[in-house]
Structure formats: C-alpha cells, structure tokens
Structure 1
Amino acid sequence: MTDVEHARLLVDVSRDYYLDNESKVDIAARHGISRFQVARLLAEARESGVVRIEISPPAHLDSDRARRLADRLGAREVVVVGSGGSTAATRESVARTLARVVGEHVREGATLGVSWSRTIELAVRHLAPLPACDVVQLVGALPVDGSGDSLDMIQAFRRMPGVRTWPVWSPLLVSDPGTAAGMRRQPEIAAALDRADGLDLAVVAVGAWTATGSTVFPQVTGDERRAATAAGTVAECSGRLFDAEGRRVVTPLDARVVGVTFDQLVRTPEVVTAGYGREAAPGLRAAVAGGIATTVVCDDAAASALEDLLDAATA
C-alpha cells in the first residue's frame, strides 16, 4: 500500500467511525481489514492530526469562562449554572448551586447572615445541615404569593443541631419611618441587626429595580419607585437601593426598611449573591463594584449579559 493509499484509508476509516458512527466491525468488513487494524488506524489518525477531537463543555460548565468573568468583574468567584426552560426551572437550578456554595463557605463558629428572596428560600431547602454556627436573619418578612417568607426560612436553620438563630420579627417594609425605627429598637430585632455588624458570611439576592426583577418594587408606592429611579437606582439588595456603580441610593423608602443596612453588607468579608436572567446583570455587576457582593451565583443568561456589559464598557 502506497503512502497516498494509506493516507486515504486513514481518512475513510476516520470518517466512517467519527462522522457516520459506524462500528469498527462494519468498517473492517467494508475495507477488508481486521477490527484491530481499524483501532490502530484510528489511533494513528488522532496522533498524526488527521483527526482532532475538541471537547466544548456547555457554557455553564466552562470553569475557565467563570474564572475570566470573575476576574473582569473583580469578584472572588463566579459560579454559572444552566438556564432552565422556565423561570421556575432556572430559579431551582440557581438555588441548588447556591445551597452548595453557601455550604462550602460556612465554618464552625461562623456568623452567617441570610437575607430573603424566592431563590434563597429554595436554596435553604436544599442546604445540608450546617456546622454549629449563628444564623442571623437580615431582613424582616416579605410575603410573596407562591412562596413562604423569611420567618419560615429562619425556622429551617433553627432545626439544625448546633445552629443558633437571630430572627427579625417584623415585616421588611413598614408603613412609615417612625414605625420602622420603633421596630428596629425592639430588643430581639435590635439584637439581630446588631449581630449583622459581625458577619463572617452573608447570602443575599440582587433584584433589578423593575416590577419583574424585584420582590420589593411591587410593594412600594409609585412616588417611591419614581424617586428611586430618578436617583439612579438599578437594583436592590435586602431592600437597600444602589446605582450602576454600586453606590448607595438613599430615598424615603430607605427609612421604612427593617433589615440589614447597606454599610453592614459592604463590611461583611464574604457575601454570596444570586441572580438569574439578563435583567439581573446590571445589578450583579453593580453589587460587585460597590463591595456588596464577593461571590456571584448566576445562570448562563445572566453571565452572558454580564459579559456583554463588560465588553461595552471597554469598547
């Protein structure tokens, strides 16, 4: 067999096997050789470069992509999961991964702050028992149709052996600043919010300042929404508003919130935040820029939107 004939056989055998999914036995019969010769030819084709195999993991499994995104954002870590076929499926996927990430970060004796969102509520259901630690509720309750609230969630931690809880027995939003101030002075609530000064880790969610992106947005008045938007608000975290650069936005709404302050979150050494969908990207970027978040758990759609935002900023 000449060199040209051998090269042609390499190509034909490789095409039959890799592109047409034929078995080695069938390939051997067609070419009048043994299946062991077929195996040797396939190995030679890979070694010589006739066949080049490229493995391209899905975007949400591309760890290099997540590392590059973390570097560009200035985050310690970014974890990307697949976007589901529906909002509920995506939320479930993000929640499961958020539970894993939080579980990996909590150490015995730590003080963990937990905000509330529908994603965090789901994540707590998937959370493995934590080592002995303190869990501080960071915001009051915000009941939302189809889910529980932060008071239900804190009870899940209370049932874990060795875990002490510090609840906030209040709504997240109350009717007026005076009532909110009075709630914050209640001994149990004050104790919990004071504990937020010494958090080792917090888990929060970032909501875009839109009707669909935030559970807080629909709960406030039209005047409060317009005032927040006019002041540059792009997102909220635990009821605290911030702009595209992660700077705190103060509006009259701020005084009605019973929960962790913007500055307490910024002072927390490690803050894991979650978000999904393209709409979440500006808020996630701003949360990292402002020091509100150090680790981001998001879906592929949010990650792609973050990459687009970063590309636009450097164009």
Structure 2
Amino acid sequence: MARYLEEARALGIVRIDIRVPAATSGGAEPARLAAALGIEQVRITSTGPDARTTRESMAQAAAEELMAAVFDGAAVGMSWSRTLDLAAGHVTALPPCSIVQLAGALPVPGSGNSLELIQNLGRHDGVETWPLWAPLVVDNAATAQSLRGQPEIAETLARAGALDVAVVAVGAWQPGLSTVWDRVDNRVRLAAARAGAVAECSGRLLDAAGKPVESELNSRVVAVTIEQLQHTPRVIAVAQGAARAEAVRAVLAAGFVTTLLVDQELAAALSGNAV
C-alpha cells in the first residue's frame, strides 16, 4: 500500500497537504484565548494571502455571528468598517428587528458607507432601520452639536442607548489602521495620540486602559458613545491584523465586548500577550 501511495504521489495523482486549523493557528485556541482576555467568546478566521482575502473571511464570519445574535424584536446597532460593509452582503436572513446606525457616514474610496450598510440590511422582511443622516466626522464641535440636535439624528442616537446587540469594528490610532485617521488633519491626530489614544471604535478614541480620550475629535463625531456600548448586553467586535493588538486590548479593557472576531494573525498576537 505504501509503495502504491508513493507511486501515486510521484505521478501527481495524489497530493498530501497538511493544514493547520484556523481555531488553533498560532497557538491561539478560541476558548482559551477568550478566557485569557476575559470575554465570553473569541472566533478566529483564517489570515489570507492579502488583506482583501482575510477581510472576506472575516465578513462571512461576522454575518454568521450577527444572524445568530439577533432575535425577534431585537434592537441591533451596526457600526461601519470595510469588513462590516462586506458582512451585510452575507446576511441571508434576519428576524423582524430594528437596525440602528451607530456611526455617521464616512465614505472610503472603493467601499460603501454606513448608510448603505444599513439600507442593505433593511432589505430583509420585517427589518426597520434607523439611519443616521450625518457624516461621522464634521469640521467643528458646533456643527456636530447642531446635527446631534436634529430630531431624526437625535432619535437614532437615543436608540443607540437601548440596544440588545451591537456590532462594531476596532481600529488602531495609527495611519492605515483607522479610517477616521485619514479624515482629520495632523494636528488633531497628534493631539489625540498625546492624550493617550491607541484605539478607535466608531470614531470614539480609547487609551490603553480602555478610558475614553477627551479630544477635539470626540466633540466633532456623530456616533454612538462608549457609555452606550457599555450598556449593551451583547457587543460583537471585529478586528484584523497583528498591528491592532494593542487597540483590541484597549477596547476589551473598556468592558463592552462580549464576542471578539479576529483573524489568525491577530489571534496569535493577542495570545502571546494575554496568556
């Protein structure tokens, strides 16, 4: 039998591949990593040959987590990222529920935006949407305050304080690791960094201890607050890449994440620092 197998391999009829399961890649086993990080659940997806492939795998997993979490009559908050934008397209069914947009629009070249994401989810029967008719970041605090006072926007933001489930993305306060970073000038970026910002979640900045960072950016953002997320029973957070490990730990320190969805590379980085 062994001789036949060797001949088959030599002829190219049989090929033997050894693959490492996503759940154990990099020494990061989901249940063990979740316990080490102090959260309910960790889900690990494969790290692909490029960011786009990795993002697609994460988007499918995020859609599955969302569909599993939503129940009839639930109030669901959705933030935006390129991964979550893709995830909306993988959602095949939702029970009757309310979908609340958690962050104003922040168009990214080659991607959609938070308003389009909400509209995409709203195509399912019985789903009511609460859009946030504003940009995520505006030019000054006075404009943001005025927008937050508009009835439609105020009602959506108020609903963000009474959610059953929320889905958010984690960015690091560094170039290329947060879509918000590119929306503000260097003065604001550096001031926030000096104030301790290491993580960004729906436009809200957090320091390494998970504390909200008071900055000019915070006053210019139209989005859910960290306090509102802390009052949400179930929060699914999505992050990709080892470079976001510090940011993820900061968001976890804020105490609102119950399920963390990461790729293998980030899981390995978190495992090395958390276990």
Is the TM value for this pair above 0.5?
Answer: yes
Q: 1:61 aligns with which of 23, 33, 54?
A: 23
Gaps of 5+ in 1: 1-15, 24-55
- Higher-helix-fraction structure: 1
**Deviation of residue 61 (structure 1)?**
2.9
Q: 1:279 to 1:293 in 2, by over 3 A?
A: same
Instruction: Give 1:292 shift.
Output: 3.0
Partner of 2:14: none
CA apart distance, 1:57: 6.6
Report the counterpart of residue 127 of structure 1 in structure 2: 91
User: Where in structure 2 are the equivalents of 1:84-123 lying within 5 Å?
Assistant: 84-123=48-87
Amino acid at match of 1:264: Q
Query: What code does the residue aligned with 1:62 have?
Result: T
- What's the offset of the Cα at 1:277? 0.6
Same amino acid, percent of matched pairs: 46
In the alignment, the residues of structure 2 paired with residue 61 and residue 70 of structure 1 have an alpha-carbon distance, to the nearest angstrom, of: 12
Q: Does 1:208 align with 2:206?
A: no
- For residues 176 and 226 of structure 2, the distance between their equivalents in structure 1, rounded to whole angstroms, comes to 22
Query: Which residue of 217, 220, 223 corresponds with 1:253?
Result: 217
Superposed displacement of residue 22, structure 1: 5.3
Alignment correspondent of 2:198: 234
The gaps in structure 2 that reach 5 residues or longer are 8-17
**SS of aligned partner of 2:174:** coil
Q: Distance in 2 between matches of 1:274 and 1:202?
A: 11
> Contact 1:73–1:289 at 8 Å: present in 2 too?
no
Instruction: Name the SS of the counterpart of 1:265 in structure 2.
Output: helix
Matched residue count: 263
RMSD: 1.8
Q: Which amino acid is the alignment partner of residue 23 of structure 2?
A: L
Distance 1:191 1:143, change over 3 A: same
CA distance in 2, matches of 1:199, 1:58: 38
Aligned to 1:159: 123
Structure ID, larger Rg? 1
State the partner residue of 1:271. 235
CA distance in 1, matches of 2:249, 2:4: 45
Match of 1:188 in 2: 152
Normalising by structure 1, we get a TM-score of 0.80
In the alignment, residue 45 of structure 2 is paired with which amino acid?
A: V
Contact residue 33 and residue 274 of structure 2 kept, 8 A: no
Higher relative contact order (CA 8 A, sep 6+): 2
Tell me what 2:133 maps to.
169
- The one-letter code of the counterpart of 1:214 is S
* SS at structure 1 position matched to 2:160: helix
8 Å CA contact 2:63–2:90 kept in 1: the answer is yes
Once the two structures are TM-superposed, the CA of residue 147 in structure 1 deviates from its matched residue by 0.4
Three-state SS of the structure 2 residue aligned to 1:203 is: strand
